[in-house]
Structure 1
């Protein structure tokens, strides 16, 4: 955004579409109708599911710092938006800056959430010291400031209809020579950090959970016998965070590879679907996970649904029936 607003001459040098003929690649090779339709339908479904979940999370975030971070992530999720760059250069450039912002804010908050959950298991007293009250908002403020920096000072990702994905290079599919185009390294460092730290934190979380679940049985005349007691819910949480952190790692690595290698269409489409559909905390899947695994959110959503049904069914209670008698002038 800095180039576009304050260094427009440099922007025109790097993003000039004057000598590029868009139709040199036929439109049928730039349009993936089925993939776009699937994304649209899933996006509407996930959006509608997310709204009641956010209502429940908003209710709970006053009581628990974890829900405050989830609320931040949920709001960022709902801000995501969806030709090649030279079709609408200004629009795609501006949208790309927001994509940068939302991606960085959301993945940073993911790491904060993972750290919060891990510390909560290892040492509740340290977790209370780090996240009690307004301190949670300080963590999220750092995520927001970092995201705003990337929005204004990092070259944005730009959507390509050829590969159905986002790239930093504006002429992907048309010009293979990057020429003088300079890639910002910060997004790559960020993605590598997320790809490494996310599974690492959740691995520590899983180990801490197992250690904390270890119990001892003491029987007469026998040495204490140790065993592990992990509830079904804890097993589901572990499976959830392991699977989704693995997807998060895969997604970040895919996008790093895509930016610096010859693009394979299957890889870019897979990465895009991972990005939009499957990743935990990122785009569509969170409400399904919340409704499946979180009893509090599920019950709040059911209560909200019942209230909405009652509003439509129950007639207003303050209606007064008035009988009108015709006026007779001869009486």
Structure 2
């Protein structure tokens, strides 16, 4: 415990809060670039990787932002699930801006912390804080999905009515703390990734971000446990309902959950490992791509699995003539919630059908 406190005792002076109060200048001891004679010559231009990250970032954000607009302006917001998903989307877009657009540009020009200290310090604080906030929101969303299917869970009341707004204060406060009061991640074009250590010939223990490390360990454990419980719960409900349609939905839920969980867990694990141990460049690059995929995967799930969002996004961005050709209706929408809401609805239908006919048919 004493050792952990020593690792955290300089968080205040290494945080964005100090940076702002110090006239937008990093701490002169922990982030003093004068120790390096030619701070502009230690980077490495990464044109191909830079173009890749920027291109993927623009593509994902061009899909994600319309999805968030559709969610915020539709009846979907009546659901507590979508309120949480909207905040998760805001965290994802902030992270994608940092881990795709900013990363791609800095890698393309071969930047390091000492070549662009202000923009990298600011972007690193936002990227690190929003990553931690998205992890907390993702766990909260998983708890919400579990309570939606198992009504006997005691924390179901957290998401009922206006209680969800008070519940959302948890990830909001956590995000604010992570952005303003913990150490930022800093970009290094040599590895095309972000590190807490700016490599300025000081003890690496001075740059350990304990809250971030704990966060990443917990997100791997909690997401795996919650989605594992969710899959088992759906499997049990599916057997009880005896529904082929529910079985198909179960598989969809399982695939989505596993993909999102794998991306977040992979990024979390690699980023923790490479902060403490030497990692080969391919592993570090894999961690950067996994961080990007962890946020992009949510958008892909929206646009490929949710027909309501997909239709409304098409109406928002496609010309009417093209919509008519591809068969997108502009006047009617299917009332299709998130895939996990479909599971809950189908379970209720199946239970009602079993009580009346014992036939096992949902529809």
TM-score class, shorter-chain normalisation, is 0.7 to 0.9
Q: Which residue number in structure 2 is paired with residue 324 of structure 1? A: none
Per the TM alignment, residue 5 of structure 1 is displaced from its structure 2 partner at its CA by: 3.8
TM-score by length of 1: 0.80
Q: Which residue of 2 aligns with 1:222?
A: none
Choose which of 56, 66, 72 in structure 1 pairs with 2:87: 72
Q: Which residue of 2 aligns with 1:254?
A: 270
Pairing 1:202–2:217 present: no
- Whether the 8 Å contact between 1:60 and 1:67 is mirrored in structure 2 is no
Q: CA 1:229–1:140 in 2, change beyond 3 Å: closer, same or farther?
A: same
Structure 1 pair 92/227, CA: closer, same or farther in 2 (3 Å)? closer
Q: CA deviation at 1:150?
A: 1.5
Report the 3-state secondary structure (helix = DSSP H, G, I; strand = E; otherwise coil) of the residue aligned with 1:166: strand
Tell me what 1:193 maps to.
218
Asked whether the equivalents of residues 61 and 71 of structure 1 are also in contact (C-alpha less than 8 Å), the reply is no
What's the counterpart of residue 33 of structure 1? 47
Query: What RMSD in Å do the two structures reach over aligned CA positions?
Result: 2.7
Distance in 2 between residues matched to 1:203 and 1:272, nearest whole Å:
26
Q: Which runs of 5+ in 2 are unaligned?
A: 1-15, 103-110, 323-363
1:157 paired to 2:185: yes
Shift of 1:182: 4.2
- Segment of structure 1 superposing worse, 99-108 or 199-208: 99-108
Equivalent position SS for 1:195: helix
User: What's the CA shift for 1:229?
Assistant: 7.0
Distance across 1 between alignment mates of 2:186 and 2:297: 24
- TM-superposed deviation, 1:60: 3.8
Question: Cα deviation per residue 1:156-203 (whole Å; 9 max; x = unaligned)?
Answer: 1111111111111011xx64x626724231110011000110111000
Aligned to 2:136: 108
The corresponding residue for 1:46 is 60
Q: Structure 1: give runs of 5+ residues left out of the alignment.
A: 217-225, 312-331
- What SS class does the counterpart of residue 159 from structure 1 fall into? strand
Larger % of helix: which?
Answer: 2
What is the alpha-carbon distance in structure 2 between the residues aligned to residue 297 and residue 16 of structure 1? 48
Aligned match of 1:297 in 266, 285, 309?
Answer: 309
- Please show how residues 122-133 of structure 1 align to structure 2 within 5 Å: 122-123=150-151, 129-133=157-161
User: d(CA) in 2 for partners of 1:291 and 1:63?
Assistant: 20
TM-score of the aligned structures, taking structure 2 as reference length: 0.74
